[in-house]
Amino acid sequence: MTSQDRALLSMEGLAVGDGFGEKFFGDPEEVLPLIARQVVPPSPWRYTDDTEMALSIVDVLKEHGSIDQDLLATRFAKRMDLTRGYGQGAYEVLKGVLAGRSWRALSRSGFGGIGSFGNGAAMRVAPLGAYFADARPANLIEQARLSAEITHAHPEGIAGAIAVAAAAALAWQNREKSGPLGEEWLRAIRATVPAGYTCETLDEAISLSSKVSTIEAAKALGNGAGITAPDTVPFCLWIAAKYSNDFAEALWATVSALGDCDTNCAIVGGILSLKVGLNGIPKQWREAREPFV
């Protein structure tokens, strides 16, 4: 399978996860019983900014084989559809890009001058990790950083993207492993992640037994409700480590914790599609997701 084929496989899992997760926002008293009974949402599953931004990454990689930041910033901005739920920080950066301003200044000036440490760079990066799955780790890390800092200049926002990109690459490399990816996989990811809060929370994920419930894991690690990389990425990686061989069960477990459901499922889906393959994603789910625009 070529680099681009791997990226497209991850893109499929990301988009299915994104559309699936988006269906479970709402009153917990209404959605939790549906999740408990695993009631598959009716189609179509409209995708969000997670998928829309990932599509731009895949396009740039196809054309250039690496991340050209100026080009990617332009693609992000031109593709932006505000009905797809863009975060305020990304919106401000991309609106400025459309007006001819420098994304570098905009990204670094956000959030009181520290840049965004949200989960937006992590939500879109799994296909990049797939593309560079056979590259040197240092190259993968650098490409993830380049993709992230256009909208997420804070070190934690970048760390979240690096963690997910590494997770995707390592999922592909371990695709023939019969059991769950497990603790060894999490430790390999952790070795790529810069020191900081995201890395510390990933250490907590590693220390959690796979026997604890998803809800207990979410209480310890976060469920993305804060929309930050540290309270999103480690939980998603814990889910992927535990439910590695069952795409559907992994996403049902992910939404059972509520929180930032679409982004959590996009991350998990983009990673696990590389472990289970296209046929491991339920056909009904693939057919339910909205076609790419």
Q: pLDDT class for 210, splitting at 50, 70, 90?
A: confident
Q: Compute the average pLDDT of residues 240-246.
A: 97
Q: Which residues of 131-159 are buried (b: 16+ CB within 10 A; e: fewer)?
A: bbbebeeeebbbbbbbbbbbbbbbbbbbb
Q: pLDDT class for 273, splitting at 50, 70, 90?
A: very high
Q: Is 166 exposed, middle or buried (0-12, 13-18, 19+ CB in 10 A)?
A: buried
Helix/strand/coil for 206:
helix
Helix/strand/coil for 45:
strand
Q: Compute the average pLDDT of residues 23-30.
A: 96
The pLDDT, as a whole number, for residue 70 is 98
pTM for this prediction: 0.98
pLDDT at 52 over 90: yes
- Amino acid sitting at position 3: S
Q: Where do the domains of the chain lie, and which CATH numbers do they carry?
A: 3-288 (1.10.4080.10)
